[in-house]
Chains A and B, each alone.
Chain A
Amino acid sequence: EFVLTQSPRTLSLSPGERATLSCRASQSVTSNFFAWYQQKPGQAPRLLIYATSTRATGIPDRFSGSGSGTDFTLSISRLQPEDFAVYYCQQYDSVPPMSTFGQGTKLEIK
């Protein structure tokens, strides 16, 4: 079973600081099919990053993704008040079709 483990589960920071969120896969991800989503209360997830490091349309450049193998990272520089939310990582593929999400990291205001 493919599992994504996110850490930390909760991250307390202040606006203007830098956030680093981690996601570890139980097996090596051989492609770069890795994504990050942001979810606010009462809303559907919003795609931030796909293909490990490509920002989705309209996503500010303070969001960046990196990683390979089993370890992936979402970085948010200069946190803005609207960035405080829950973040999910996702590994996806087409052969075979699959999509697995992590359990989330809650980014809260310190």
Chain B
Amino acid sequence: QVQLVQSGAEMKRPGSSVKISCETSGGTFSTYAISWVRQAPGQGPEYMGRIVPIFGTPNYAQNFQGRIKITADKSTNTVYLELSSLRFDDTALYYCARGLGASGAYYTVYLYWGQGTLVSVSS
């Protein structure tokens, strides 16, 4: 079955960068979009961006333009999220998630989720 396994918790200073990974197994890696969705304490999920590995070009949500980078390594079935210029309000649980289907709108309705990576930003 499809599994998404994320890297461990991170503690960062304001202004620094963080890079977290999401290794997928089961199913077809290249044709399904992997999205990054974060959830601050007590808040609803927030879409950050996605990549379809077979195409390679990521899409980013407006709120993160300029400080987000999503990449995919097809040799290891791993997707990475890099977020720079970290602020206190970037403290959240970051999830990778795979879409229900391999095309169109089904890229961003999420059937499979990673376990989440806690990123804490503190001085």
Where the two chains meet, the residues of A that have a C-beta atom closer than 8 Å to any C-beta of B are 31, 33, 35, 37, 44-45, 47, 50, 56, 88, 90, 92-94, 96-104
Contacts and interface: CB of A to CB of B under 8 A. Distances in A.
A100 B47 contact: yes
A50 B35 contact: no
A94 B103 CA distance: 9
Contacts of B104: 94
A94 B44 contact: no
B43 A103 contact: yes
Interface residues of B, number: 24
B46 A44 contact: no
B109 A44 contact: no
Interface of B: 35, 37, 43-47, 50, 59, 61, 95, 97, 100, 104-105, 107-111, 113-116
Contacts of B100: 47, 50, 56
B50 to A, nearest CB: 7
26 contacts: A33-B105, A33-B109, A37-B110, A45-B113, A47-B100, A47-B111, A50-B100, A50-B109, A56-B111, A88-B44, A88-B45, A90-B109, A93-B105, A93-B108, A94-B104, A94-B105, A97-B50, A98-B61, A98-B108, A99-B47, A100-B47, A101-B45, A101-B46, A101-B47, A102-B44, A103-B44
A31 B104 CA distance: 12
Contacts of A96: 59
Given A44-B113, A45-B113, A47-B100, A97 B44 contact: no
Interface of A: prevailing SS:
strand
Contacts of A37: 45, 110
Contacts of B50: 97
Name the 3 nearest CB pairs between A and B, nearest first: A44-B113, A99-B47, A99-B108
A22 to B, nearest CB: 15
B89 to A, nearest CB: 16
A58 to B, nearest CB: 10
A44 to B, nearest CB: 4
B108 A94 contact: yes
Nearest to B45: A101
Nearest to B43: A103
